[in-house]
Structure 1
């Protein structure tokens, strides 16, 4: 049961770096995701490997217009977004965190919803590059990373979901009890590994890459 990826062709693989923006990763950020900082060393190592082996590296940035015209239901769900405190296109908080910033010619897909595929040209870019496998990294595990993985699978891509290169935050008690980030992360990985992707560590992913 579940998707399994035994060998990875780097020329047909893209690393998708989801929403590693200052507004999520920086200390004290409005949407601070501490696990996002903890994955930085692993993600940094993975990106160096990907570039060395010729994989495509593609970033996403969740952004909104300053006038709020593209908020949709996010204006109701997330007060900091509705108030314009974060994820405003063109502001420093919406930029990719410097430690894992894109290199020249690595595209940054600007999106307005959880999924990197919804209302963007990501699928066109991947198909133009001949990509068949997408590796998901970034934040948050259960929202934007999960949505990207699901849509990638729907569109016919094989999905590697990297367990130690994704992360999330603690969930408050909204009537179902508080849920620590580690538990949100663990349960999401368990679900994805059955229904959507091959969940693996970054090290395991790199071992599966065909070299030479």
Structure 2
């Protein structure tokens, strides 16, 4: 296996489908082909492909997002299913050693998860980031990755947000402040 991993962050119906609860809509839908190509190329190369996926409980008064956003990505709902071709791709490859989905309950894929442990066990030092939302979950994951010493690669045609200003700001922040490599 290699020393790099792909994180496909929150690419679910609620964040991408036209009728998703907190959708990026068209910008999120347009990145699907790029996400699928990167995922398949990295999987075939023996790289690690992780799918950290937002998970919430209805009316959770203890979760800070409850005050900020409408209910989204509830367990066992259509909204939490992977969007488009990613759903079938994941079903086809989930039994492979280098493909894994895991729950996250905060913006960052590192917060409250075993991601850092998984990556260190596998000698991963470089993270490729795709998914949504650029300026929320992708950004917070990138900041944590930076603080943990990982090299970061953000695929500009593989990330999107419902806020274009926030997306543009985050893309500049990845490169200028976190030292990330930006790839198309």
Contact persistence 2:21–2:79 (CA under 8 A):
no
* Aligned partner of 2:154 among 136, 158, 161: 161
Instruction: Supply the distance in 1 between the matched residues of 2:2 and 2:58 (Cα, whole angstroms).
Output: 38
Structure 1, unmatched stretches of 5+, are 1-9, 171-180, 203-212
Offset of 1:146 from its aligned partner?
A: 0.4
Q: Which residue among 109, 116, 121 is the counterpart of 1:128?
A: 121
Post-superposition shift, 1:184? 2.4
Q: Is the 8 A contact 1:193 1:199 kept in 2?
A: yes
CA distance in 2, matches of 1:37, 1:98: 8
Local SS of the residue matching 2:144: helix
Match of 2:20 in 1: 29
1:49 and 2:41 matched: yes
Look up the match of 1:185. Answer: 167
Q: Residues 3 and 125 of structure 2 are in contact (CA less than 8 Å); yes or no, is this contact kept in structure 1?
A: yes
Which residue number corresponds to residue 182 of structure 2? 200
CA distance in 2, matches of 1:24, 1:67: 18
How far is the alpha carbon of 1:46 from its aligned partner?
Answer: 1.0
* Displacement of 1:67: 5.7
Cα distance between partner residues in 2 of 1:120 and 1:22 = 22
Aligned positions, number: 176
Offset from partner CA, 1:82-103 (integer Å, 9 cap, x none): xxxx211121211222412322
Q: CA deviation at 1:140?
A: 0.5
Aligned match of 2:5:
14
Question: Which contiguous aligned blocks of 4+ residues in structure 1 show a shift greater than 3 angstroms?
Answer: none
Displacement after TM superposition at 1:201 (Å)? 2.1
Q: What RMSD over aligned residues (CA atoms) do the two structures have, in Å?
A: 1.6
Stretch deviating more after TM superposition (159-168 or 98-107): 98-107
In the alignment, structure 1 residue 63 sits paired with structure 2 residue 45: no
Name the structure 1 match of 2:141.
Answer: 148
Q: CA deviation at 1:198?
A: 2.0
Aligned equivalent of 1:89:
75
Which entry has the higher C-alpha Rg, 1 or 2? Answer: 1
Deviation (angstroms), 1:73: 1.4
Match of 2:94 in 1: 104
Instruction: Name stretches of at least 5 consecutive residues in structure 2 with no aligned partner.
Output: none
| 1:66/1:89 contact within 8 Å kept | no
